[in-house]
Structure 1
Amino acid sequence: MPHLTLEYSKNLDTFSAGAALLDINRALLASGQFEEADIKSRAIALDCCQIGVQDLPRAFIHAKLAILSGRSPEEKQRLSELSLQALADSAALPPGVEVQLCVEIQEIDRASYGKRFIAR
């Protein structure tokens, strides 16, 4: 834990998903909530998406951060803020495009989450 998924509109030509993932991972580690090797992240470029109804240059990056249940609302808010700031700081965005950055915290039931380490 945690699992971070970035979904972003593919029209962000200058966005480096790998750099954003690394920056958010660093922010999550600095929060003191997670062990380094437990932070898992991935990015998905969306070929087909629509923002609003007007034909304007728009884009988005949506971060979903799934964490185990049991954290306070304040801790979740802090993780959201840290993730959003890291995303904003790392995102090289194209000029002339309105970009929405979002972070969503999702809770995974601690009692039902399973994890196993396999080292060969």
Structure 2
Amino acid sequence: MPHLVIDFSANLTDFPEAQILKDVNAALCKSPEIKDEADVKSRTNRIAHFEIGNQPANRGFVHAQLRLLAGRSPETKKDLAERIAVVLRKHTPHPAGMLVQLSVEILDMDRASYVKERL
């Protein structure tokens, strides 16, 4: 915990995955909610097959999900979502003539059923 998954449409051909992961981890680790930087696990998924509405030409998306153990305040969740959004706004390509939608979602994970170990 936390787990960050960033999905993006494959038509964003210049999406700088490595830079975004580096910068988003740095932004999240600056939050007082993150006690151990090694707990932040981030990854990207290039989505090859997708539809956006019923006129998908020249449309793309980036969607981030941050999964946290339940119990964070709404203010904390808002802060973490904005930290992610700032990085995505900075680095997400938006080619001329393309509508790119950006979204960030914070999801609670059930503490009682979550298992984590360091091996």
- The reply to whether TM is greater than 0.5 is yes
Count how many residue pairs are aligned between Structure 1 and Structure 2: 118
TM-score (norm 1): 0.92
Output the amino acid matched with 1:109.
D
Q: Deviations over 1:68-120 (max 9, x none)?
A: 111011111111111111111122333321111100100001122111111xx
In structure 2, stretches of 5+ residues that fail to align are none
Moved over 3 A (4+): none
Describe the SS at the equivalent of 1:42: strand
Measure, in 2, the Cα distance between the counterparts of 1:15 and 1:43: 10
Alignment of 1:1-120 (within 5 A): 1-34=1-34, 35-118=36-119
Measure, in 2, the Cα distance between the counterparts of 1:73 and 1:55: 34
TM-score (norm 2): 0.92
Overall identity of the aligned pairs, in %? 44
In structure 1, stretches of 5+ residues that fail to align are none
Output the amino acid matched with 2:83.
L
